[in-house]
Amino acid sequence: MSTRWYPIYQRGNPQLRVFLPNFWMKLVRPRGTQLPNIVHFECSMEMTKHDIKNYLNKIYNIPVVEVRTKIFLGKFKRDIGKGYIVKDDDIKNAIVTLPKDMKFEYPDIFEKAKDETEEQEKALTEAKKSFQNYIDRNKNRSDVPSWFSI
């Protein structure tokens, strides 16, 4: 289902078109902790519970037991420069219950990236340490250049 109209064929139009519905779902990390058999999605505002169930079941073959939806209020911000207050769009959240023997864990996508940043930080702290050492060593001879030593 979709809210878009399939364009009526007019003479001269291309005969075959790819028709994409405006329904989308995005897997998100749940707010707070959640039972292992419950998965949270953000989805397009037009989707109903039945749409969500069909979307997951028919396209991805996910056995869906129950769908609860909730519309979260968008965030309020102060517009930078203008000073007045603006609001983000509302978000529709779908809370999907899987059969109780199933488990879903939100994937850790940035596992490798985490290791890299850790290494970088390590190198940085070591460099800082050696520089601090150098300063401590030479704190009593502030005017002497670094190459002037035994």
Partner 1 sequence: MYLNRVHRTFPKLKKVVTRLHSQVAIIEENEYTETPQYPPILDMSLEAKKLREREALHKKIQDINTVEEKQIALNMPRYYGWKCIMLHEDKVPYNALPLVQYYTRSHFVSIDKLPEVYNETGASAETISQEIKSQVEEAIAIENDGIDRNFTPSLESSSLKSEASLKEDAISKCIIRQINRIIFNNLTDKVPHILSSQVDYDARHEAFWFIGGVKPPASIRNFRKQFKWLHDKIEEPVDRPVQYIGTPMLTIRNRSPLKPLIPYSEAENPAFKVPIFHHLPRSVGYYDHHRHGTNIPGFWPGDYDEFGLMSYHGRGHILDRKESFGPEDNLEALHCQALKASFGWLLSQANYQGFTTFNDITYPLVTQTIITNGQYWSLYAYQLNTIVMHNDKFDSNPKHNICFGTNPLKLYDCIENGNVKGFNEEVLKMLIQFYLNAPEDREHEMKPYLGKEEQVVADIEDDNRRCWLESRYKHLVANRPKHLLIPETYLWEDIYKIKFKTRFFEAKRRPFELGINPFRRRLDEHLPPYIPKVLRPYPRSKKKFETTYYPKV
Interacting stretch for partner 1, rule CB under 8 A, among 9-17, 65-73, 117-125, 127-135? 65-73
Beta-bridge mates of residue 91 = 72
Task: Between 35 and 135, name the residue whose CB sits nearer to partner 1.
Answer: 35
Answer for the pair 62, 56: CB distance below 8 angstroms, yes or no.
yes
| Per-position x/- string for 96-135, each x denoting binding to partner 1 as judged by CB under 8 A, each - no binding | -x-xx-----------------------------------
Determine the Cα angle at 111 with ends 110 and 115, to 5°: 110
Instruction: Give the sign of the dihedral formed by CA 1, CA 67, CA 36, CA 115.
Output: positive
Tell the smallest beta-carbon distance from residue 94 to partner 1 (Å): 14
Site string for partner 1, 6-35 (x = CB under 8 A): -------------------------xxxxx
CA dist 78 and 127 (Å) reads 40
